[in-house]
Amino acid sequence: MKSKSIRYTLMTTAGLVSALVFAGFIMSGVGSGNPFLSEASADQEKSAEAAVNRLPSYFPNTEVLRPDEMRITALGTGLPTPITRAQKSTAWMVELGNGDVFLFDLGTGSMENLFGLRPDFSRLDKVFLSHLHSDHFGDLDAFIVGSWLSGRYTPLHVYGGSGDTPELGTKAAVEALMKALAWDIKSRTGILPDAGGKVITHEFDYKPENQVIYEDNGVKIKSWPAIHSLDGSVSYRLEWNGLTFVFGGDTRPNKWFIEYAKGADFAIHECFPTPKGLAAFNDWEMRPATFVSSYIHTPPQGFGKVMSESKPRMAVAFHTVLLPDIQQGMLEGIRKTYDGPLTIATDLMVWNVTKDTIIMREAAFPDRVTPSSTTQAYKSAHRSGEAKMSKYIMGGVWKGFTPPPLPEK
């Protein structure tokens, strides 16, 4: 499809600067009055009409994915600090038209955004961790318990790389977390479905390039190593129905990403502040700022170079700082080395991806939400019975209050 590029800079009320270039992609809101479509070519408009009637914002649970469509939601796009109302740590959700849902990382604070979307938690049983920094898995505990309370009645499957030594691998981390949650899990088991309190860890060797680590229901997920802090960090590539989603996790620019993200429909790679930007933001000396920005992460010009080589249909930057001057600096840095389709992601951006179009919107939901609805399968899943307290504690029950009779099972 031959069409014009539309370039613009968007300033939101939060002072956020995002830069997007759409070359042959359709922005949301098919119909009149859309400033983006007013610049679209005839081809684009036709393709937009053929795509879907999508509302200008994404209102969770109001649209059904088409069988050939992938929806990607940014649940967290920031750093380990500060975790603010406006920006949580890294987490991404990928929903497919075949009904599958995949989570990539669960950084600190990201659960607030996930729960705000009120997803069907019975389908959210797969998490792929890029590495074990808290800004990438710090909400795994909140997810294990929260999703179990909200509709997940089968074990949670956690995928992640091995480490240099067994104690630095994903299996050891999840086992330790489950030990820490022993009281919590035991207290709820029986009230909640037994199987939902279980976690199955799939630890794989972090070294092999482009190895298949998951294959089911027409979905293949592959991994390759990332260069970040310690051995064990990985990147992922999800392939389904002719579409490719890539999540780089945290990494210094590396040859594997360039090779295996090549031509992806949607490629997410971190984009860190420059050494100077990080030094100013964290009030650090230049040496640690330079090391962190450019030796274990990727500064904007590095991000641009990586994307210029891998040439995805949409390049997505995350791990940013939501301050206008830093965002502007990042954009200018990227544009020195990359002029293709780009989004600097912020929390709750949503993309619907098909072979023909990529529609980008923001999710809209209130700050206060009720829990997700559960399924009948969740309600009737096996429960072994409520946890018991000791005679000593039960001896303290006050006779002045009589609870209502317990319904039969």
Q: How far is the CB of 53 from Zn ion (least distance, A)?
A: 37
Q: How far is the CB of 308 from Zn ion (least distance, A)?
A: 23
Q: How far is the CB of 273 from Zn ion (least distance, A)?
A: 12
C-beta atoms surrounding 307 within 10 Å: 27
Q: How far is the CB of 270 from Zn ion (least distance, A)?
A: 7
Q: How far is the CB of 319 from Zn ion (least distance, A)?
A: 6
CB of 303 closer than 8 Å to CB of 339: no
Q: How far is the CB of 231 from Zn ion (least distance, A)?
A: 13
What DSSP designation does 37 have?
Answer: G
By beta-carbon proximity to Zn ion, the closer residue of 65 and 177 is 177
Q: How far is the CB of 323 from Zn ion (least distance, A)?
A: 17
User: What distance in Å separates the CA atoms of residue 175 and residue 44, rounded to the nearest whole number?
Assistant: 50
By beta-carbon proximity to Zn ion, the closer residue of 79 and 192 is 79
By beta-carbon proximity to Zn ion, the closer residue of 112 and 339 is 112
By beta-carbon proximity to Zn ion, the closer residue of 250 and 347 is 250
User: What distance in Å separates the CA atoms of residue 242 and residue 69, rounded to the nearest whole number?
Assistant: 10
With 0-12 CB in 10 A as exposed, 13-18 as middle and 19+ as buried, what is 242?
Answer: exposed
By beta-carbon proximity to Zn ion, the closer residue of 319 and 361 is 319
How distant, in Å, are the alpha carbons of 209, 224, 235, 298 from that of 255? 11, 10, 12, 13
Q: Where are the beta strands (DSSP E) in 300-376?
A: 315-318, 342-344, 349-353, 358-362
Place of tokens 């009120």: 118
CA angle 133, 159, 193 (to 5 degrees): 105
By beta-carbon proximity to Zn ion, the closer residue of 47 and 233 is 233
User: What distance in Å separates the CA atoms of residue 33 and residue 92, rounded to the nearest whole number?
Assistant: 31
Backbone angles phi, psi at 12, to 5 degrees: -85, 175
By beta-carbon proximity to Zn ion, the closer residue of 47 and 235 is 235
With 0-12 CB in 10 A as exposed, 13-18 as middle and 19+ as buried, what is 99?
Answer: exposed
Q: Could you tell me if residue 310 is left (phi over 0), alpha (psi between -120 and 50 degrees) or otherwise beta?
A: alpha
Q: How far is the CB of 136 from Zn ion (least distance, A)?
A: 6
By beta-carbon proximity to Zn ion, the closer residue of 132 and 331 is 132
By beta-carbon proximity to Zn ion, the closer residue of 135 and 239 is 135
By beta-carbon proximity to Zn ion, the closer residue of 188 and 319 is 319
Q: How far is the CB of 293 from Zn ion (least distance, A)?
A: 12
- Long-range contacts formed by 180-186: CB under 8 A, 24+ apart: 180/141, 181/141, 181/144, 181/145, 184/145, 185/145, 186/387
Kindly state the tokens that stand for 6: 């539309």
Kindly state the tokens that stand for 24: 């042959």
DSSP tally for the chain: helices H, then strands E = 13, 17
Q: How far is the CB of 204 from Zn ion (least distance, A)?
A: 19
Bridging pattern class, strands 70-76 and 91-96: antiparallel
Residues that bind Zn ion (CB under 5 A): 133, 135, 250
